[in-house]
Amino acid sequence: MGKKTELKDHKEIAKVETVLELLRKQTPLTVKQEKFCNYACVKRFLKAKGDSVKKASKQLKACLAWRESVIADHLIADDFSAELADGLAYLAGHDDESRPVMIFRLKQDYQKLHSQKMFTRLLAFTIEVAISTMPKNVEQFVMLFDASFYRSASAFMNLLLPALKIVAEYYPGRLCKAFVIDPPSLFAYLWKGVRPFVELSSWTTVVSSLDFEESLDFNDFAAYPRASSLRFDSASVKSTAKIGSCSSSRFSFTVSHHLDSLKPWYLSLADTSASKVGPTSPSAALISPLNARSLSFASPVARTPRGPPATRKGLFPSTPLPQRVTAPPRTSFLQSPATFFRRDSHVAAKGERCRESFLPYVKFYRRPYDEMVYRSKMRPPLGGLISIVSPHITRRHVSVSQRF
């Protein structure tokens, strides 16, 4: 086994050297290009092209030309001050295997107001920040595309496909997983037709955030005091019982019974737990600050108690409606009924796999964006002028008399 691994390593080293020789024969490499074309980089290009030396060298040459045109080595945070303030694309953190997780929350109007080159630069800048934070034994990252701000499926497709193409051609072997979250309704049909032609389609999964409502953990916000301070704390509101009031975990609406009162109604932050509508047993479902709603303001269907429907008494007996019978699925002679069950089980198993794969990244998707935390992860020169100058400044104490 040791001899086989040594032979394999020698073959890989020889292929890497051959790719670099082909590149140097065409055009001499600069110092930055030599630093970029290290052993691990060339190995990823060879693996993406099936260990073909010619194809790997051709793709690597195109990647170097693209980096020169996009100026990937000179991207700084000062060029994207508006995007960083709005949190359109940022590094949310690292998963359990130390892979960086990037989130893209671009709106539909972004493509109308910005050019395609500006989006490419923003994508390259975010990827470069993620790569700079990778440990030595990690080479891949995770991408989350939030499509909830898009109303058009074709508009989001015009954003997703160029992003996946850039990652496939210029960052081969870097993508571990990509998730498309809450896309428009017609996106599934467009993605089904385009998927066979997308190189990274097998690494891309479409999920819905509504399937993970019960997995929301508020303890993840503890590291962000500014965001956690805005949450509603039901323990801070004292419980008071009032007659004829509508209660909710957010507010209470009280109507006064005195006709000569100047304020027959008023709003307060009191939690009237004694007059709450609904089940009060310990086995009742708990209400979280996000889904807390007053049953008095809910729809008539929500206020109707569950159980058998009440019979309406009238002068004439009502005619019973015929029961609805569902027809069995049509089958042909060439298709067995067992195929329907296999298809359903396959879809259910695929949905369960998608759910399990996205479950570790729900906390990154729910976590609020903090610009200062994201800027702290940028290494020079990506962080801009502040990150370059601040580590070299030697500050000394100045008294008040010396300042004025």
Query: What would the pLDDT profile of 32-80 be if each residue is shown by its tens digit?
Result: 889 999 999 999 999 999 889 999 999 999 999 999 988 766 888 989 9
Using CA atoms, how far apart are residues 317 and 374, in angstroms rounded to an integer?
Answer: 70
**Helix, strand, coil: what percent of the chain each, to 5?**
50, 10, 40
Beta sheet of 141-146, edge-to-edge order: 89-94, 100-104, 141-146, 175-181, 204-207
pLDDT at position 215, please? 59
How far is residue 360 from each of residues 105, 175, 183, 215, 355, measured CA to CA in Å? Answer: 19, 16, 20, 10, 9
pLDDT at position 228, please? 43
Phi, psi at residue 98, to the nearest 5°?
A: 65, 25
C-alpha count within 13 angstroms, C-beta hemisphere, residue 241: 2
Using CA atoms, how far apart are residues 235 and 165, in angstroms rounded to an integer?
Answer: 50
pLDDT at position 328, please? 54
pLDDT tens-place values along the chain, 404 residues long: 556 666 677 888 889 999 999 999 888 888 888 999 999 999 999 999 988 999 999 999 999 999 998 876 688 898 999 999 999 999 999 999 999 999 999 998 898 898 899 999 999 999 999 999 999 899 999 999 999 999 999 999 999 999 999 999 999 999 999 999 999 999 999 999 999 999 999 999 999 988 887 655 544 555 554 444 444 455 554 555 444 544 444 444 455 555 554 545 444 555 544 444 444 444 444 444 444 444 444 444 444 455 554 544 544 455 555 555 555 555 444 444 444 444 455 555 666 777 788 999 999 999 999 999 999 999 887 876 544 444 443 444 444 444 43
pLDDT at position 74, please? 80
For 139-176, give one letter per residue: b (16+ CB within 10 A) or e: bbbbbbbbbeebeebebbbebbeebbebbbebbbbbbb
CB-count burial class (<10 Å; 0-12, 13-18, 19+) for 392: exposed
Longest CA span, the chain: 99
As a whole number of Å, the CA-based R_g of the chain is 30
Using CA atoms, how far apart are residues 31 and 37, in angstroms rounded to an integer?
Answer: 10
Going 145 to 147 to 149 to 155, the CA torsion angle's sign is: positive
Cβ neighbours of residue 12 closer than 8 Å, sequence gap 6 or more: 43, 46
pLDDT at position 379, please? 84
pLDDT at position 231, please? 44
pLDDT at position 396, please? 45
For residues 89 and 126, the answer to whether their CB atoms sit within 8 Å is yes
Using CA atoms, how far apart are residues 222 and 131, in angstroms rounded to an integer?
Answer: 26
Using CA atoms, how far apart are residues 366 and 389, in angstroms rounded to an integer?
Answer: 34
